[in-house]
Amino acid sequence: MHKPGDVVLGGLFEVHYTSVFPERTFTSEPRQPSCKGFDTLGFRHAMTMAFAIDEINKNSNLLPNVTLGYSLYDNCGALVVGFSGALSLASGREEQFLLKENCLGAPPVLGIVGDHYSTFSIAISNVLGLYNMPIVSYFATCSCLSDQQRFPSFFRTIPSDAFQVRAMIQILKHFGWTWVGLLVSDDDYGLHVARSFQSDLAQSGGGCLAYLEVLPWDSDKSELRRIVHLIKTSAARVVMVFAHEIHMIQLMEEVVRQNVTGQQWIASEALTTATVLQTPDFMPYLSGTLGIAIRWGEIPGLREFLLQIRPDQNDNDTFGNSMVRQFWEHTFKCRFAPLPGWVEAGGAPCTGQEDLTNVETEFLDVSNLRPDYNVYKAVYALAYALNDMLHCVPGRGPFSGHSCATLQTLEPWQLVHYLQKVNFTTSYGDQVSFDENGDALPIYDIMNWLWLPDGRTKVQNVGEVKRLAFKGEELTINEDKIFWNFEFKESVCSESCPPGTRMARKKGEPECCFDCIPCSEGKISNKTDSMECNSCPEDFWSSTHRDHCVPKKTEFLSYHEPLGIFLTTASLLGTFVCAVVLAIFIYHRSTPLVRANNSELSFLLLVSLKLCFLCSLLFIGRPRLWTCQLRHAAFGISFVLCVSCILVKTIVVLAVFKASKPGGGAHLKWFGPLQQRGTVLVLTSIQAAICTAWLVSSSPVPHKNIQYHNDKIIYECLVGSTVGFAVLLGYIGLLAILSFLLAFLARNLPDNFNEAKLITFSMLIFCAVWVAFVPAYVNSPGKYADAVEVFAILASSFGLLVSLFGPKCYTILLRPERNTKKAIISRGAMKS
């Protein structure tokens, strides 16, 4: 609907409450959705804007010599339609509009009244706010729209949900209701209300929230059944609803089905005046409902203006004739262009001369103007802002250089500036101004639903709640006028918390309502309604029920567990085998095989292997200071002694071979028994010096580790100096690699010197075990690190023992015929 004027104001209204979108294909042209379901009240809202502009144009004191026009769009209950309408209103602006008598084309839209829904207003303001197009909504209540950083040009004449929530809380506090349920719609309106309600309720200390449920849009029967069952079984007798009519209708149908009585309903402003809920089916349950409603206001002359609306028989679009025709057809159930068979079926054709006073329609009921009154105030707010701008005195203006805005060069942000400062009083006596968030001074009426004996429903005013400029919220209620549908009973918010739990205030709620939170691990409470849980001592942990402390479990590589028993058995077995082999060699020390393989070094090697097996026992059992200090030192020195003997035996094999050649006797002269003992002593002394330096500088110490498991104490040895441990292992590895290389070079000597092959194989096993040990040790927690190290010690020791002494014992015990000087010499001769 359009009306020309010097300045045009836009409007967005819900004249149809649903849209049907055509099916789209890749080949079809895009088509506009069709609007369905004529909304009489939405059309009256639009007509109220038309009336307000007509009234302003007749007022010589407001915007003299300026004629206001309007351009009204129907959002059809669909965001895409409303958004398209908003863009249509805002588009087509030139950089400068020249107001001349011969000007052609539509004048610019300087401000928009609308939209109806919060979600629509958010989307529209997100875009038009970029251009500072002023938008004044009459029904969008989402508290998020108060964010002036995000919506710098958005204003509204309806209180935000933030105040609506505070008004609800004032009612709860007035009646002492501290245990309530909250139902919200699944959209921006409901979800923001839920957050705001939880936050404000906690700050006010006015009560507790029993439950918070989101009502579905899609009439999900199972979900509605669950929600109503929750209402029925909850101890909360007060139910607050922030939703739309369709949500409440679906909810009440299920309430009737489950016969949920005895609830005190508190309705938001979107539901308080909803006549669709005041039916004989619902009122037995909803009678006595309290709610807040948009401030009622009186608009003199509106009814007479509405009665003047008539469709044009010439079918032109004057005054939005197509929209008026739809209203006429909806009201009188007639058709201007009847379809074939319409008249025959009893339908009447429209003449345009029908009398609105002869039909019962809420269109003419101006006794309860609430959203209409907000539309009226929104139009006047824009008009007063424009009027203040036109009365600016040049040189004393608010803009750069104290300049003033003019109608010819007006920018939207300039009108926003004046809109922020607008302050006027309506003919009904209500003051209208906007705060720093674009919200008008809020005021709500408190309504009560009364079910009369004749079946009619009366919604009566029983008070008001408003925010004063400097005094905060003020609540006035006449309790004598309130009708109660049931006898109110007190309810218990929370049961007592048993031992093992603590009382915890629910997030965003006062302390009257609390959860019983189980004490966290390591903490206990041993009395009812404990405010906090107490930590157990360091060596204790909480019991299963968190009501007393018990000693923590300890973990280390123990002699009593299967793994410790296995490793201990393996260690003792290795020690025993070494002793047996040593006894065999001592008993057969005069045989050629024992003498040919350097019996003295063999005996020393067996002793060192026995020490290697025994040192693994230091890693088993609860770590003590002396075991932590001794275990790595004993391990390092034992293995260096062992590997030093192997290295010297390898050098001896090479020396003997070279000495067997002509002129090679000098090799044995310079590496005789004394030099061999000295080499082993020197190499072992170096490792002893490394261990001494490590123990002196940063000695290993026992440690209670609680990092891996909170409920366990893992006893372990800290190595102290990682560098010292690395040098110890590196030195062993260096000697092992050197022995391996020398033995590998001597592997092809004649059979009578074939100990080099055994040394090569044994050192290969040794190196493989310790190369695998490093990553396994680093990645093993707690006692398993010790187990890995013990396993490496035992595996490498058994490898050396079997590789070096297995074949010799086999020959000595089972093939004695080979243990003769003649047999050894003959094998060497055959090899040569």
The confidence score (pLDDT) of residue 125 equals 93
Determine contact, residues 405/397, Cβ cutoff 8 Å.
yes
E runs forming strands in 243-318: 264-267, 290-294
H or E, element range at 553: strand 553-555
* Residue 11 confidence class, pLDDT cut points 50, 70, 90: very high
Least confident of 302-311, 329-338, 480-489, 555-564: 480-489
User: For residue 115, is the peptide bond before it cis, meaning its omega torsion is within 30 degrees of 0?
Assistant: yes
* Residue 707 confidence class, pLDDT cut points 50, 70, 90: confident
Least confident of 139-153, 370-384, 798-812: 798-812
DSSP SS3 for 523: strand
Q: Which amino acid is at 562?
A: P
Q: How far apart are CA 31 and CA 25, in angstroms?
A: 11
Q: What is the mean pLDDT of residues 704-713?
A: 78
Q: Which amino acid is at 430?
A: D
Whether pLDDT at 225 is above 50: yes
Percent residues over pLDDT 90 in the chain: 18
Determine contact, residues 168/193, Cβ cutoff 8 Å.
no
* Residue 749 confidence class, pLDDT cut points 50, 70, 90: low
Whether pLDDT at 236 is above 50: yes
Q: What is the mean pLDDT of residues 603-610?
A: 86
Whether pLDDT at 290 is above 50: yes
Q: Which amino acid is at 415?
A: L
* Residue 378 confidence class, pLDDT cut points 50, 70, 90: very high
Q: Round the average pLDDT of the chain to a whole number and report it.
A: 82
Q: How far apart are CA 398 and CA 418, in angstroms?
A: 9
Q: What is the mean pLDDT of residues 234-241?
A: 88
Q: Are strands 501-505 and 514-518 parallel, antiparallel or unpaired?
A: antiparallel
Determine contact, residues 237/205, Cβ cutoff 8 Å.
no
Q: In a 10 Å sphere around its CB, with 0-12 CB exposed, 13-18 middle and 19+ buried, how is residue 14 labelled?
A: buried
Q: What is the mean pLDDT of residues 650-660?
A: 69
Least confident of 19-28, 299-308, 495-504: 19-28
* Residue 649 confidence class, pLDDT cut points 50, 70, 90: confident
The confidence score (pLDDT) of residue 385 equals 94
Instruction: Count Cβ atoms below 10 Å from residue 652 Cβ, excluding itself.
Output: 22
Q: How far apart are CA 115 and CA 118, in angstroms?
A: 8
Determine contact, residues 736/770, Cβ cutoff 8 Å.
yes
H or E, element range at 642: helix 625-659
The confidence score (pLDDT) of residue 273 equals 82
Q: In a 10 Å sphere around its CB, with 0-12 CB exposed, 13-18 middle and 19+ buried, how is residue 25 labelled?
A: exposed
Percent residues over pLDDT 70 in the chain: 87
Q: How far apart are CA 148 and CA 139, in angstroms?
A: 18
pLDDT digits (tens, 9 = 90+) for 264-289: 899 988 888 888 888 889 999 999 89
pLDDT digits (tens, 9 = 90+) for 122-136: 999 999 988 889 999
The confidence score (pLDDT) of residue 832 equals 46
* Residue 93 confidence class, pLDDT cut points 50, 70, 90: very low
The confidence score (pLDDT) of residue 172 equals 86
Please provide the DSSP assignment of 352-385 as one string: S---GGGS--GGG--TT-SHHHHHHHHHHHHHHH
Give the CA distances from residue 703 to residues 1, 552, 693, 716, 774, in Å, rounded to whole numbers and listed in that order: 85, 15, 21, 5, 21
The confidence score (pLDDT) of residue 106 equals 52
The confidence score (pLDDT) of residue 24 equals 60
Rounded to a whole number of angstroms, the distance between the first and last alpha carbons of the chain is 119
Give the CA distances from residue 509 to residues 267, 308, 328, 489, in Å, rounded to whole numbers and listed in that order: 21, 54, 52, 22
What's the helix, strand, coil split of the chain in %, to 5? 45, 15, 35
H or E, element range at 787: helix 783-814
pLDDT digits (tens, 9 = 90+) for 352-374: 888 888 888 889 988 888 899 99
The confidence score (pLDDT) of residue 589 equals 78
The confidence score (pLDDT) of residue 224 equals 92
Please provide the DSSP assignment of 80-142 as one string: HHHHHHHHHHHTT--S-----TT--SPPPEEEEE--SSHHHHHHHHHHHGGGT--EEESS---
Count CA atoms within 13 Å of residue 491 on its CB side.
24
The confidence score (pLDDT) of residue 474 equals 83
Q: Locate tokens 């003919």: which residue?
A: 427
Determine contact, residues 445/461, Cβ cutoff 8 Å.
yes
Largest CA distance in the chain: 143
The confidence score (pLDDT) of residue 97 equals 47
